[in-house]
Amino acid sequence: MESFITFTNQSQGRDRIFRATQYACALVKYLLRKDSTRKELLQKLRSLESNMSSGRKLFRLGNTVNSIDAAKKTLYLSDPVLRLCLTVANINRALYFICDNVLWARSLGFLKGIDKERWNLNANRYYFFSLVMNLTRDVYVIAQLMVQRSRERQFQQKVNQHLNESPDVACVIIPQLDAFLFLLIESLKNHPAVALDTIKNACDLFIPLDKLGIYQTNAGVVGMCGLVSSLIGILSVLKTSLKMKP
């Protein structure tokens, strides 16, 4: 209970709850879109989704500064790949929040003469580039874990035992592929934070891909991906050991 109270007292925690609710509404709306008897419910879901989106924009007002500060810190990472990926990701994230704040101010009438479509397009581009760099970091970390794991003598024995115990699988599936998948699973088994962060970023990637028209899906897929990534985000805030570091 104490961890939940601490979670809800954080602006980041409240943003995760709002985000999960927003995408849950989008998913349910898509599933009920053809049900003519649920028109009133659909209207309520649209209203709730809109309110959650507006609420999240308030929570994100200070995120530009946080992202710039995070970029300054990642500049001092010793690993050059992590330094490049995380710094570029944080810079793009900061630019995304700037666009988001401008769009929010425009919707309230504080800024006039702003091209909404152009700013929205730029926001999605920066969000997309940020996710791509975060996913690149995830793949790099996973590759490192797999290399470390493959060098362990105990793991070599485990792979041989696995292939010997599953001859049918080894015949049907390419042995090298089977060994690769086994190595991947074994490497991530002891590093759930890496696995969750990869799934989260992969799910989030469908959102800007759809909005930019690079890979268009539908509101149901976007809602599902957004909900899954939001739930993982909530879990990582509730349990800090599941948060990817750095």
The pLDDT tens digits of the residues spanning 66-94 come to: 899 999 999 999 999 999 999 999 999 99
- 112 pLDDT band, cuts 50/70/90, is confident
Specify burial of residue 219 (Cβ count, 10 A radius: 0-12, 13-18, 19+): middle
Nearest to 8 by CA among 243, 244, 241, 234: 234
Does position 173 have pLDDT exceeding 60, yes or no? no
- pLDDT at site 10: 66
- Percent of the chain predicted with pLDDT > 90: 57
pLDDT in tens, 4-55: 545 454 667 788 999 999 999 999 999 999 888 889 999 999 999 999 998 8
Q: What is the pLDDT of residue 170?
A: 46
Per DSSP, the three-state class of 208 is helix
What confidence tens digit (pLDDT) does each residue in 156-169 have? 677 667 666 665 55
Is-contact 128 207, C-beta < 8 A? no
Map out the domains of the chain as residue ranges. 2-242
**Could you tell me how far CA 100 lies from the centroid of its own chain?**
17
Q: What is the pLDDT of residue 164?
A: 67
Please tell me the distance from the alpha carbon of residue 200 to that of residue 134, in angstroms, as a whole number.
Answer: 10
Q: At residue 115, does pLDDT exceed 60? A: yes
